[in-house]
Chain A
């Protein structure tokens, strides 16, 4: 079986390594995940549909996906800016800042959640600037957006940065020689090269934001219909022992995650093809 399924090599250990990989992955990830789908099958289709489309659930989708899109869009713009500044310019503290960009990956989400809440509350360092303007950030959907922006910050920077580093200066010199000004060179030469990476980063930030829980629940205020995200609704149903309802929502989120994963893989494939071309 092995000979037709893999190419021949003198190296040993294929069966052991692959066998262990598949066993571990099945026990920890695949079988437990399939439990969600099997559990949902205990609901009839109309039951499932009613569960995942009640007004409260629909409001949570709108908030989760709306805030995630907005946060990913802000991160696309500022992530590109940060990547550009880090790759192209020299300024004091650059290496430190470059290292700190990954902070949202390393900082536990609960810590980010309470820190952002303290900052953006009406009496917080940042919140008190907005309070006189009548803008409330913490405990509103705006707070959800702030938390998701924090969580997604490194994705665009880290996907765009290596591509930007690889761009040959000859390309830009050629554009300049041909009479393009700096803005034209950027929009017609540099930006198209960065686009696949930028979109990959956007998609990664969006996918991460959709599932985010820890940083959001502190700052959101969690009011039903207004500032309640879908992952929180899953937990709420679970705490009421509504296992089927919780699982139905989880399946909706999982299907969306799988679609996002597919999109991200396609974008990365596109990105690699782009950067492989001279």
Chain B
């Protein structure tokens, strides 16, 4: 940085002092892209390639086949029940945690995050231990002819367990960052609790709520391990889309397996697109606050 640096305009000099030479920059970009291509882009493309390999007719035939349709229906039903429940839970948990100070708050936050650190297989196993034939409630359920394990309720429970934290962990940092002044003003001016919630809080957190719901939905529809343990894999009855993919794959019916898988991959791409869209909105709302919690 001697004579040459002095000859350059101030901006360029400043940039060169804290920037790498061009060849370093492009090598790093090249390495990063090579890694992402190998581990991300090629697998994604291969799903669609394998799905369409035997032609479009085979592709559509695999999707409209009766077992595939019932798997799609079960997956949609599961998400339609699990997501709203976890939405309500997330709102309640975030309201308690973000708007009030109480002892044991950090412990509660850790407990809400717990399902993220439990293996999906274990999430399925614990419900078998309770509702399975040899489980705690097994004999009683058998007596009353209620099926939970190897039936739809078990799939629902396992999915809800896995997706418990998604909405809550988006809302808690967001609502903590927004503070309580607006709600306090509303209450002091005579608004009831529910009025305050619907007219003040909800409009403030709508994007965060949507963001959490999108992530929750993607996981609910795609969950495999937990659901696999409790489902019993009964074709046309207790098969979700990911389980149907597994069955087809194990039957060496690769084209059909990848056809159903491509629907799930499309779902993932739509999720990412929506997420990016919503993210740009929330970043405007509370810049930076949600970042540290975004990790998982």
For residue A115, which residues in chain B have a CB less than 8 angstroms away from its CB? 43-44, 46-47, 50, 258, 261
B118-A33 in contact (CB<8A): yes
A97 to B30, CA, bound (A): 13
Nearest-Cβ distance from residue A252 to partner chain B, whole angstroms: 10
| B193 & A13 in contact (Cβ 8 Å cutoff) | yes
A97 to B125, CA, bound (A): 37
> Could you say which of B31, B271, B292 has the most chain A C-beta atoms within 10 Å of its C-beta?
B292
**In the assembly, what is the distance between CA of A158 and CA of B293, in Å?**
10
B58 at the interface (CB under 8 A from A): no
For B117-149 the 0/1 string (1 means CB < 8 A from A) is: 111111001111110101010000000000000
Cβ–Cβ contact B157 & A99, under 8 A: no
In the complex, which residue of chain A has the Cβ closest to the Cβ of B103? Answer: A5
> Is B272 in contact with A102, judged by CB distance below 8 angstroms?
yes
Interface check B115, CB cutoff 8 A: yes
- Contact at A213–B225, with CB atoms within 8 Å? yes
Type the 1/0 row for A9-42, where 1 means its CB is closer than 8 Å to any CB of B: 1111110111011101100111111011001000
Given contacts A173-B18, A204-B295, contact A246 B125 (CB under 8 A): yes
CB neighbours of B100 from chain A (8 A): 6-7, 9, 11, 14, 18
Q: For residues 173 through 187 of chain A, which have their beta carbon under 8 Å from a beta carbon of chain B? A: 173, 176-177, 182, 185
> Per a CB cutoff under 8 Å, which of B36, B108, B128 touches A101?
B36
* B265 in contact with A111 (CB, 8 Å): yes
Query: Provided the pairs A153-B39, A162-B292, A231-B121 are in contact, do residues A176 and B254 lie with their beta carbons within 8 angstroms?
Result: no
A243 vs B133: C-alpha distance in the bound complex, in angstroms? 11
Q: Are A36 and B31 in contact (CB under 8 A)?
A: no
State the majority secondary structure of interface residues on B. helix
A108-B224, A111-B264, A111-B265 known; A89 vs B25 contact (CB < 8 Å): yes
B36 adjacent to A159 (CB under 8 Å): no
Known: A106-B268, A115-B47. A162 touches B119 (CB 8 A): no
A225 close to chain B: CB less than 8 A: no
Which A residues from 145 to 201 make CB contacts under 8 A with B? 146, 149-150, 153, 155, 158-159, 161-162, 166, 169, 172-173, 176-177, 182, 185, 200-201
A residues near B241, Cβ cutoff 8 Å: 108
For the residues of A in contact with B, the DSSP-based class is helix
> What string of 1s and 0s marks CB contacts (under 8 Å) between A201-218 and chain B?
100100110111110001
Given contacts A108-B224, A218-B249, A235-B121, contact A85 B29 (CB under 8 A): yes
B contact residues around A169 at 8 Å (CB): 18
Interface check A270, CB cutoff 8 A: no
1/0 per residue, CB under 8 A from B, across A92-104: the answer is 0001010111111
Task: For A108, give its contact among B38, B184, B223, B258 (CB under 8 Å).
Answer: B223
- Chain B 89-105, CB-CB to A under 8 Å as 1, else 0, gives 10011011001111100
Contact B25 A155 (CB under 8 A): no
A4 to B236, CA, bound (A): 55
User: Smallest distance from the beta carbon of B11 to chain A beta carbons, Å?
Assistant: 12
How far apart sit A116 and B93, CA to CA, in the bound complex (Å)? 38
- A238 and B229 contact, CB distance less than 8 A: yes
* Across-interface contacts of A173 in B (CB, < 8 A): 14, 17-18
The answer to whether B77 has its CB under 8 Å from any CB of chain A is no
Asked whether A89 lies within 8 Å of B296 as measured between CB atoms, the reply is no
Give min CB distance, B99 to chain A, whole Å. Answer: 5
CB < 8 Å neighbour of B102 from A5, A101, A213, A272: A5
Assess whether B2 is interfacial by the CB under 8 Å rule.
no
Residues of A within 8 A of B47 (CB): 111, 115
A249 to B89, CA, bound (A): 30
B residues less than 8 Å from A86 (CB atoms): 32
Cβ-defined contact, B38 with A126, below 8 A: yes
> Within 8 Å CB of B122, what residues of A?
36, 211, 231, 234, 250, 253-254
Q: How far is the CA of A161 from the CA of B283 in the complex (A)?
A: 14
Evaluate contact between B18 and A125: CB separation under 8 angstroms.
Answer: no
B170 at the interface (CB under 8 A from A): no
- Cα separation A91 to B215 with both chains bound (whole Å): 28
Chain B residues with CB under 8 Å of A126's CB are 38, 42
Given contacts A20-B89, A89-B28, 4 further A-B contacts (CB under 8 A): A6-B103, A25-B164, A111-B268, A261-B113
Q: List 10 A-B contacts (CB under 8 A).
A: A35-B126, A89-B29, A103-B272, A108-B261, A108-B267, A114-B257, A155-B295, A173-B17, A176-B18, A257-B118
Binding site for A on B (CB under 8 A): 1, 14, 17-20, 24-25, 28-29, 31-33, 35-36, 38-44, 46-47, 50, 88-89, 92-93, 95-96, 99-103, 108, 110-115, 117-122, 125-130, 132, 134, 136, 157, 160-161, 164, 180, 183-184, 187-188, 192-193, 196-197, 215, 218, 221-225, 228-229, 241-243, 245-246, 249, 254, 257-258, 261, 264-265, 267-269, 271-273, 275-276, 288, 291-292, 294-296
